[in-house]
Amino acid sequence: MTEQQEDLATNPGADQRSLDGVDLWWRAANYLSAGQIYLRDNPLLRRPLEPEDVKARLLGHWGTTPGLNFVYAHLNRVIAETGQDMLFVTGPGHGGPANIANAWLEGTYSEVYTHIGADEAGLRELFKQFSYPGGVPSHAAPETPGSINEGGELGYSLAHAYGAVFDHPELVAACVIGDGEAETAALAGSWHSSSFLNPVVDGAVLPILHLNGYKIANPTVLARMPQEQLAALLTGYGYEPHFVTVADPRETMRAHEEFAHALESCLAGIRSIQDEARAAGTGAPAGESAPRWPMIVLRSPKGWTGPELVDGKPVEGTWRAHQVPLSEVRTNPGHLEQLQQWLRSYRPEELFDGGGRLRAEIAALAPRGDKRMSATPYANGGRLLRDLVLPAYGDYAVVVNDPGTERVSPMANLGGWLREVIRLNPHNFRLFGPDETASNRLQDVYEATDKVWQQRIEDVDEHLARAGRVMEVLSENLCQGWLEGYLLTGRHGVFNCYEAFVHIVDSMFNQHAKWLEVHRELPWRQPVASLNYLLSSHVWQQDHNGFSHQDPGFIDHVLNKKPEVVRVYLPPDANTLLAVTEHCLASRDYVNVIVCGKQPSLAWLGPEAARNHAERGIGVWDFAGSERPGEEPDVVLACAGDVPTTEAVAAAGILRRQLPQLKVRLVNVVDLMRLQDAKEHPHGLEHRDFDRLFTTDKPIIFAHHGYPWLIHRLTYRRTNHGNLHVRGFIEEGTTTTPFDMAMMNRIDRFQLAIDVIDRVPSLGSAHTGLRQRLQDLRMRARRHTREHGEDPEEVAGWRL
Amino acid sequence: MTEQQEDLATNPGADQRSLDGVDLWWRAANYLSAGQIYLRDNPLLRRPLEPEDVKARLLGHWGTTPGLNFVYAHLNRVIAETGQDMLFVTGPGHGGPANIANAWLEGTYSEVYTHIGADEAGLRELFKQFSYPGGVPSHAAPETPGSINEGGELGYSLAHAYGAVFDHPELVAACVIGDGEAETAALAGSWHSSSFLNPVVDGAVLPILHLNGYKIANPTVLARMPQEQLAALLTGYGYEPHFVTVADPRETMRAHEEFAHALESCLAGIRSIQDEARAAGTGAPAGESAPRWPMIVLRSPKGWTGPELVDGKPVEGTWRAHQVPLSEVRTNPGHLEQLQQWLRSYRPEELFDGGGRLRAEIAALAPRGDKRMSATPYANGGRLLRDLVLPAYGDYAVVVNDPGTERVSPMANLGGWLREVIRLNPHNFRLFGPDETASNRLQDVYEATDKVWQQRIEDVDEHLARAGRVMEVLSENLCQGWLEGYLLTGRHGVFNCYEAFVHIVDSMFNQHAKWLEVHRELPWRQPVASLNYLLSSHVWQQDHNGFSHQDPGFIDHVLNKKPEVVRVYLPPDANTLLAVTEHCLASRDYVNVIVCGKQPSLAWLGPEAARNHAERGIGVWDFAGSERPGEEPDVVLACAGDVPTTEAVAAAGILRRQLPQLKVRLVNVVDLMRLQDAKEHPHGLEHRDFDRLFTTDKPIIFAHHGYPWLIHRLTYRRTNHGNLHVRGFIEEGTTTTPFDMAMMNRIDRFQLAIDVIDRVPSLGSAHTGLRQRLQDLRMRARRHTREHGEDPEEVAGWRL
């Protein structure tokens, strides 16, 4: 603070004329913001305000808006002067009026929404649609030009901002963080992102912590802690805070001067860190710590420039300004009059011409074209998207001479292919993971790249460097947030994660899927790369971790979102995993979930067969079944997921040997959505195709990777659903071997064979002997495992 | 640091003899920890180690364990000397060997698991069961005596520790936080808990940040940032850090001295804050900030006392010590020899007598009885549990003269009852929420209590105080973590949250449900109060927030967990909400999810009827249907959730008036699990009872609060499932009125009536006119809402 004040004395900062412009812009934006919250007509106050001019239900949010407008106006001044590429990330919830107001002032709003023109009629529409049935929400959203961050669920702004600037060295993301939002876990964990930002290859984030003191109904922790504690906290997070405190809300020009100065200092600080690092070329020497990046703390009154007192109670500067400061405007003439005075205080006649067009001298303050933050291609990443160069599938697929005879780790094999993806796309792809990339067996990527790290590097560290393509931090939230920011600004990536713990980002997934659902319907938003989850260390392979690590429910969660945006794949072996991943990395606007094991497991399909199978998503495995050409099978053994597939094929083998007369069909499912009706999901099978695969009247025993009811949910409309019997994870877990896990959940080969015996009517009771032997084998295997600490050797290729 | 060193000079701290005891205990715990990871036999090394003595699969984790043992030994010394009640919270993942070792040393392990005795045979069992099929996981878990925190999914230790000490003024929770864990969002957000801890009525948390430098495969952010940055960070979080740095791993006595001194200083600091506050009585004056609580930063080598080098590579003090430092013991004689040397370095012959019993002088170092951290009732909260005193239901139920004629906000009404719960249980119940208690209309609780806040309080603040029963912080993670800690230490609580954003804690719910699943099967763990979610501001009532706030999928997520522990209720009105909540607050060992709206909505059932309905969980509403006694209905209109119920009853009304000959049965579902088969869930209906309600062959139109497929998933085994047609949220959302939302998702009264017309075969095509009128009404209503910003007035009691 003291330092800054000294600085201010020696460097008077922005000249008065340009700050007058900032103030004018701010005034216009504030007017448009208040107008959106209140007015359905009379947008220029050409006549005295009548109750009918006001919306029937007042549902917008004023509190955070003027502060956002203030920051936006200042950023615009800098952009206009310097041509800096800048992205505006709106962290505070319900700051939507600000983003919309500024986008309209910059002309962008009318460009992308032509029915909302740059004139009085347009203004009327702009106001009316806000927080109005069928209109736009009161927070930044996909519909908001210039936004990559939804302001509904709080906490992700800073992670998004960092994701946005990775590999965009020319970009500065100005990230306004609300002090309510700052209390969320996700935001609190995001500050450390600067330990992963490389000043040479990445751009910069300028965090602007906006302390307006209150959330919905309470003060905020960051605003109320002592100033020196806050300074320590931000220093501890790795930043150099510049404080701008608006002590007197009426002294706006003083606030402008201080903020302009802080902003200039911060941008100079950023430039200086970047220049130094870029001159050196590769980043700081190993022994050094991460640079201390500048940031701003703006302490300004909630609802600044709005009503100071309402009905005798303080509003401006308090939690009462959070939503609508005047709530009875339609029924209380005093409130109506106060609203009119408030709106008139922005002097709309000075802002707009007779036709409701923004006066030219204000419009001239905006940056031009793509430099406008509301029009920047960085916030419409599809405009910047370049296809990934993908290595040839054939070079990485494994040869399979005989199905189910050799073991390959699907994830390790994929690691080799991903290594080449990284080599071929040096600035366009990153791999994200919570300290699990090697644990998930993708370590081959380290032949081509390193893990990014800006803190001290020691001799003992491996694959750790200033620059690299792998982002590892022990925070699923941060991985997800970074990747979202990276994708929405036009790049590609994969998030590899333990299956059980990806639930940590359930809610972030929800919000990203919802973002995509809306984004796809906006013609002006260009397609972006899909968000790819690669989930391993899954429910069946948690030998030492046990029950807390066993949860396959993420796919259930994902499938609640719109079929247009979600895809779930369960590749059964190394080559199908490769084929599926290749497909996902080339796709757009989806969330793809791939679940596959990391342990060496049986390879079933050769390169060609695997690719065809992955493309079809479902198919009969003749090599595993015992059908006879032209005859219907007696039973269908279906499977989805690598471990269930191994068990189902083994069960089919047992049946083939023991009951050679029985005709077993084995159906493997890679693409779960194939099970759904074609009317429900674009990948769904037509009923006749489903019936052809699963028959209309034979028993189906289905071994599923996850919770069994998911399969019922996907198939309840199918003809043969009544004969479907699903085995899956029934929440029976502990610390044990994969095969013992299968037995605990009754999805093992013996149980599946027993299920077939129990359900094929033609077998009658002639096979109780075989049934008993299978039961005995189960018991023997369980006992052996628990006594010897490993499965009996025969498990791999059990013969009866 | 300097200060502390000065202190150390003037105050030599613990005497040498007691530190010798600490070192002896530490040695014993380390031996038992390494033994668990490696040995299946020869637990006392009575004979040279053979490959067969070693487990076939080495799956444990050594890295963090010796540091945990170190802390535990020091805490024991203090407890034994002072009788302090202390709870040990193990944050670092995979620290299980330490907890188990110490519990065995304290005798608790053999008390609760009698098959694992306090002798050589017991030791063999203790070692073998660890990370072994059917045994115990390598992290703290419900099976671990003394633990309330699962070490599997990281990030919740600090929130649990705070929850544990709320309303336990005599308790200190020593919370070891791993530096990996510290990177998670949840942990990063938990530090601010001290802004909500009252030194008068609450106990204290002693955070012990354990920097061993590495997570699985990477250094950690907190360990690698410059020391002064770390000091600033912890100061910024509101703590006074005491640093203990183990520079030389061999200088263990120096480490003991420094740690003992730091621990004593911290406990003295805690006592001093408490004494001052308790002398004053009610906490600090409004103008003051939260006290700066002491904490310890222990920088010690990962895998301390383990192998320094393996195969020439550094292990101790590096990420290579994370899991098993020697991995080829069975096949590499060099590794086997090194293991033997390592184990012998703890001199087991000095630790155990000939029978494998802990030598008496070591056993004597442990605290006694319930003071042992492994035996403390605070970690087995059911032992401390006292029933809640619940206010009389009848005093808060609303009178309903005529169903569906008066509007009451169910949540606001419940707020009055909760106010009395708070009055009647001054130290045994808290209400948690992310800044949404008033927004969810529970504000009546503020007549009896305040929101807890330890930072500065200003005149403008309302219902904010040093002490209170309402915990509000803008972090769902923190609310959940606090509540879990509060419940597991024997108290009661409710978490009120917006429905959509409760997904933020999906994964925390998973872990708590899994904890309960295991806990219920352990005879020595006493039942605890259920975790109650009260979800409001739900998918159908998000007028201004829009799509980002619309997600009813939490109940889908919850229902994946074991039926024994999960309960989901959708009360249709004020009285059923009251009855359901009363039931949930008296229950034990469940997770209860209650979803109900906050807006004034129609009251259907009087006090008596509502209670009966809530108890039955499902029932026919004669007043709404048009059945004739003794005759089967033509169609069943079913509903679950408040908005769907209103629409279904309105649809039944339309049908009654328009098609008086049609016999409509209306079934309302409060308890979703009633829909399941009795074999699947303890609340499930027998098939014959289900068939009686839903018929075996008539069409069922089901209006459901959430995603429609959940109802199919719960009922696919029912006789009449083929005739079931479900309406629910199909991810069609935007900023609009509740009725417009219902129309967008086709769950509105007109659509439900159309569904009936379309599906009752006897109606034939005679009703195309009525069908068309209903369609027209839908269109008219949609247009009106979008034009006027509110629903047409007729919606409330639409007449055709």
Per residue in B28-45, pLDDT (tens digit) is 999 999 999 999 999 999
Whether A308 maps to a domain, the answer reads: yes
E strands, B41-121, in order = 85-90
Residue B545: band (very low, low, confident or very high) from pLDDT cuts 50, 70, 90: confident
Subunit contact A56:B788, Cβ cutoff 8 A = yes
Instruction: Describe the crossing of helices B476-488 and B506-519 by its angle, rounded to 10 degrees.
Output: 10
Burial (Cβ within 10 Å: 0-12, 13-18, ≥19) of residue B279: exposed
Instruction: Look at residue A9 in the predicted model and tell me its pLDDT.
Output: 44
Assess whether pLDDT exceeds 70 at residue B7: no
Instruction: Look at residue A766 in the predicted model and tell me its pLDDT.
Output: 74
8 A C-beta contact, residue B512 and residue B519: no
Strand partners, A685: A677
Q: What Cα–Cα distance (Å) separates residue B17 from each residue in A231, B20, B22, B23, B365?
A: 44, 5, 9, 10, 11
Assess whether pLDDT exceeds 50 at residue A1: no
A215 in contact with B, Cβ within 8 Å? yes
ipTM of the complex: 0.96
A406 and A533 within one domain:
yes
Subunit contact B735:A131, Cβ cutoff 8 A = yes
Average pLDDT estimate for B266-281: 95
Q: How many domains does one find in chain A?
A: 3
Q: Which of A601, A635, A650 marks a domain boundary?
A: A601
Assess whether pLDDT exceeds 70 at residue B464: yes
A420 and A363 within one domain:
no
Whether B744 maps to a domain, the answer reads: yes
Percentage of chain B exceeding pLDDT 70: 97
B716 and B627 within one domain:
yes
Average pLDDT estimate for A77-91: 97
Query: Concatenated DSSP letters for B573-595?
Result: SHHHHHHHHHHHHT-BS-EEEEE
What is the CB-side half-sphere exposure of residue A781 using CA atoms within 13 A?
26
Distance between CA B535 and CA A481 in Å, rounded?
26
A629 and A596 within one domain:
no
Closest by CA to A501, choosing from A444, A463, A469, A539, is A539
Buried b (16+ CB within 10 A) or exposed e, B301-316: bbbbbbbbebeeeebb
DSSP run (H or E) holding A86: strand A85-90
Strand partners, A650: none
Instruction: Look at residue A543 in the predicted model and tell me its pLDDT.
Output: 72
Instruction: Look at residue B787 in the predicted model and tell me its pLDDT.
Output: 86
CATH assignment of the domain containing B787? 3.40.50.920
3-state secondary structure (DSSP) of residue B136: strand
Average pLDDT estimate for A9-14: 52
Residue B535: band (very low, low, confident or very high) from pLDDT cuts 50, 70, 90: very high
Whether B675 maps to a domain, the answer reads: yes
Whether B384 maps to a domain, the answer reads: no
- Interface mutation target, options B177, B504, B539, chain A, most CBs of A under 10 Å: B504
Q: How many CB pairs below 8 A link A and B?
A: 379
A739 in contact with B, Cβ within 8 Å? no
B628 and B746 within one domain:
yes
For A397-442, write each residue's pLDDT tens digit: 999 999 999 999 999 999 999 999 999 999 999 999 999 999 999 9
What 8-state DSSP symbol labels residue A784?
H
Most confidently predicted of A286-290, B672-676, B766-770: B672-676
Starting at the edge strand found earlier in the chain, the sheet holding B171-178 runs: B85-90, B171-178, B204-211, B293-299, B239-245
Instruction: Look at residue A134 in the predicted model and tell me its pLDDT.
Output: 85
For B113-128, write each residue's pLDDT tens digit: 999 999 999 999 999 9
Assess whether pLDDT exceeds 60 at residue B322: yes
Instruction: Look at residue B8 in the predicted model and tell me its pLDDT.
Output: 45
8 A C-beta contact, residue B90 and residue B101: no
Instruction: Look at residue A54 in the predicted model and tell me its pLDDT.
Output: 95
Whether B383 maps to a domain, the answer reads: no
A435 torsion bin: left (phi>0), alpha (psi -120 to 50), beta (else): left
Subunit contact B789:A57, Cβ cutoff 8 A = yes
* B residues 129..158 contacting A (CB < 8 A): 131-139, 141, 150-154
A402 and A535 within one domain:
yes
Whether A285 maps to a domain, the answer reads: no
Provide the residue range defining the domain that includes A754.
617-797
Average pLDDT estimate for A362-390: 98
Dig out the tokens for A578 from the structure.
Answer: 């490769």
**pTM of the model as a whole:** 0.97
For B208-221, write each residue's pLDDT tens digit: 999 999 988 899 99
* B residues 696..725 contacting A (CB < 8 A): 707, 709, 712-713, 716, 721
Subunit contact B56:A562, Cβ cutoff 8 A = no
Instruction: Look at residue A796 in the predicted model and tell me its pLDDT.
Output: 52
- Mean pLDDT for chain A overall: 94
Assess whether pLDDT exceeds 60 at residue B12: no
Residues of B in contact with A474 (CB under 8 A): 154, 180-181, 183-184, 215, 220
Query: Concatenated DSSP letters for A695-761?
Result: -SSS-EEEEESS-THHHHHHHTTSGGGGGEEEE---S---S--HHHHHHHTT-SHHHHHHHHHHH-G
B499 in contact with A, Cβ within 8 Å? no
For A477-517, write each residue's pLDDT tens digit: 999 999 999 999 999 999 999 999 999 999 999 999 999 99
Residues of A in contact with B180 (CB under 8 A): 435, 474
Whether A612 maps to a domain, the answer reads: no
Distance between CA B557 and CA B507 in Å, rounded?
10
Q: Which of A550, A570, A601 marks a domain boundary?
A: A601
Assess whether pLDDT exceeds 50 at residue A4: no
CATH assignment of the domain containing B586? 3.40.50.970
Closest by CA to B257, choosing from B496, B586, B4, is B4
Which one-letter amino acid corresponds to residue A749? R
Instruction: Look at residue B796 in the predicted model and tell me its pLDDT.
Output: 52
A520 in contact with B, Cβ within 8 Å? no
8 A C-beta contact, residue B778 and residue B748: yes
Subunit contact A56:B789, Cβ cutoff 8 A = yes
A361 and A473 within one domain:
no
Q: Which of A327, A351, A368 marks a domain boundary?
A: A368
Q: Which residue has the higher pLDDT, A740 or A281?
A: A740
Distance between CA B150 and CA B139 in Å, rounded?
7
DSSP run (H or E) holding A17: helix A16-38
- Mean pLDDT for chain B overall: 94
Subunit contact B135:A226, Cβ cutoff 8 A = no
B541 and B421 within one domain:
yes
A409 and A342 within one domain:
no
Q: Is the dihedral of CA B685, B688, B691, B697 positive or negative?
A: positive
B628 and B576 within one domain:
no
Instruction: Look at residue B240 in the predicted model and tell me its pLDDT.
Output: 98
Assess whether pLDDT exceeds 80 at residue B524: yes
B738 and B591 within one domain:
no
Subunit contact A517:B319, Cβ cutoff 8 A = no
Nearest to B560 among A57, A61, A707 (CB): A707
Instruction: Look at residue B795 in the predicted model and tell me its pLDDT.
Output: 64
B51 torsion bin: left (phi>0), alpha (psi -120 to 50), beta (else): alpha
Subunit contact A561:B731, Cβ cutoff 8 A = yes
Which one-letter amino acid corresponds to residue A420? E
Residue B14: band (very low, low, confident or very high) from pLDDT cuts 50, 70, 90: low
Instruction: Look at residue B9 in the predicted model and tell me its pLDDT.
Output: 44
Closest by CA to A722, choosing from A703, A695, A697, A701, is A697
Residues of A in contact with B506 (CB under 8 A): 503-504, 506-507, 557
* A217 Cβ contact partners less than 8 Å away, ≥ 6 residues apart: A319, A322, B435, B437, B438, B439, B472
Assess whether pLDDT exceeds 90 at residue B544: no
B168 in contact with A, Cβ within 8 Å? no
Residue B4: band (very low, low, confident or very high) from pLDDT cuts 50, 70, 90: very low
Residues of A in contact with B195 (CB under 8 A): 221, 224-225
Give the helix ranges, DSSP H, for A294-370.
333-344, 348-351, 360-363
Assess whether pLDDT exceeds 70 at residue B617: yes
Give the helix ranges, DSSP H, for B106-226.
108-112, 120-129, 157-165, 185-190, 221-224
A577 and A645 within one domain:
no
For A694-703, write each residue's pLDDT tens digit: 999 999 999 9
* Closest chain B residue by Cα to residue A131: B544
Strand partners, A430: A493
Burial (Cβ within 10 Å: 0-12, 13-18, ≥19) of residue B249: middle
Whether A378 maps to a domain, the answer reads: no
Assess whether pLDDT exceeds 90 at residue B325: yes
DSSP run (H or E) holding A569: strand A566-569
Instruction: Look at residue A10 in the predicted model and tell me its pLDDT.
Output: 47
E strands, B501-634, in order = 531-536, 566-569, 591-595, 601-602, 618-620
Name residue, tokens 């619309």: B550
Distance between CA A15 and CA A628 in Å, rounded?
88
Percentage of chain A exceeding pLDDT 70: 97
Instruction: Look at residue A697 in the predicted model and tell me its pLDDT.
Output: 97
